[in-house]
Amino acid sequence: MRVAAISIFPEMFRAITDYGVSGRAVSEGHLVLDCINPRTFTHDRHRTVDDRPYGGGPGMVMKAEPLEAAIDEAVERVGGEAKVICLSPQGRVLDQAMVESLAEEPGLVLLSGRYEGIDERVLESWVDEEISIGDYVLSGGELAAMVLVDAVVRQIPGVLGHSQSAVEDSFADGLLDCPHYTRPEAHRGSRVPEVLLGGDHERIRRWRLKQSLQRTLIRRPELLQERELTAEEQRLLAEIENERPD
């Protein structure tokens, strides 16, 4: 997948190119990430990328011209066919379904704004979609862009080894993840559930599914509204409801 990130702080993206799963995706060629700085496309002595807002008010707004030149360059870098996304609190909130759909795109251009935001004419004419990673304001779009890239790159075949299959990821099947344990069996007097210590894989699978359903029911019941339940899941949910303290 080819991604071009537009930001006045391109170095921030080292956080995903130099570490972990996304870092390996870059070194193995599954992900190509270009960082493009709008300052490159300024022509004044101070390399100005922002200016005061019309209508007054606090803060600054990112100027259209340097951003549009950066978007132009970015689209070319990702090979011409690109979805241009601006990360902002005004966007559609990112979820796993959107992540899986974005992973199918041939190229992504991710626009990270700073200051109070971006001149609206850039959003109107150049941006295909605004995406938010949640209902809160950040100092810039870069961290949101990195969250999006990390989630999307996990969907690319070959990025996660067999041991970490994205299919097993919680949210991949619309449920919260089950509890996980590792050695020692007893830690500060708290023991690992017996079912996990035996080798009955079918019993373990069922226990884990029931745990995921129970957690989802308790912590995020609305996720269950949107989800088709298998016969087994319906049975397990009935068991959970019967076991719930009144």
Annotated catalytic residues are: 89, 116, 154, 169
- Asked if 102 and 152 count as a contact pair (C-beta separation under 8 A), the reply is yes
Least spacing, CB of residue 218 vs ligand 4G3, in Å: 26
Q: Which two tokens stand for residue 83?
A: 């979805």
- Rank residues 171 and 229 by Cβ distance to ligand 4G3 and give the closer one: 171
Task: Find out whether 177 is annotated in a ligand binding site.
Answer: no
- Rank residues 87 and 152 by Cβ distance to ligand 4G3 and give the closer one: 87
Task: Find out whether 133 is annotated in a ligand binding site.
Answer: yes
- Rank residues 149 and 236 by Cβ distance to ligand 4G3 and give the closer one: 149
Opening angle at CA 198, ends 195 and 201, nearest 5: 80
Task: Find out whether 137 is annotated in a ligand binding site.
Answer: yes
Task: Find out whether 54 is annotated in a ligand binding site.
Answer: no
- Pairing of β 61-62 and β 32-36: unpaired
How many Å apart are CA 89 and CA 144, to the nearest integer?
Answer: 10
How many Å apart are CA 166 and CA 30, to the nearest integer?
Answer: 15
First-to-last CA distance in the chain? 51
Least spacing, CB of residue 142 vs ligand 4G3, in Å: 8
How many Å apart are CA 67 and CA 202, to the nearest integer?
Answer: 55
Task: Find out whether 195 is annotated in a ligand binding site.
Answer: no
- Rank residues 106 and 134 by Cβ distance to ligand 4G3 and give the closer one: 134
Residues that bind ligand 4G3 (CB under 6 A): 86-89, 113, 117-118, 132-134, 136-138, 140-141, 144
Q: How many of the other CB atoms lie within 10 Å of CB of 193?
A: 11
Least spacing, CB of residue 178 vs ligand 4G3, in Å: 28
Least spacing, CB of residue 187 vs ligand 4G3, in Å: 37
- Strand ranges for the chain from DSSP E: 2-6, 32-36, 50-51, 61-62, 83-93, 107-112, 129-132, 186-187, 190-191
Residues annotated within the binding site for S-adenosyl-L-methionine are 113, 133-138
Residues annotated within the binding site are 113, 133-138
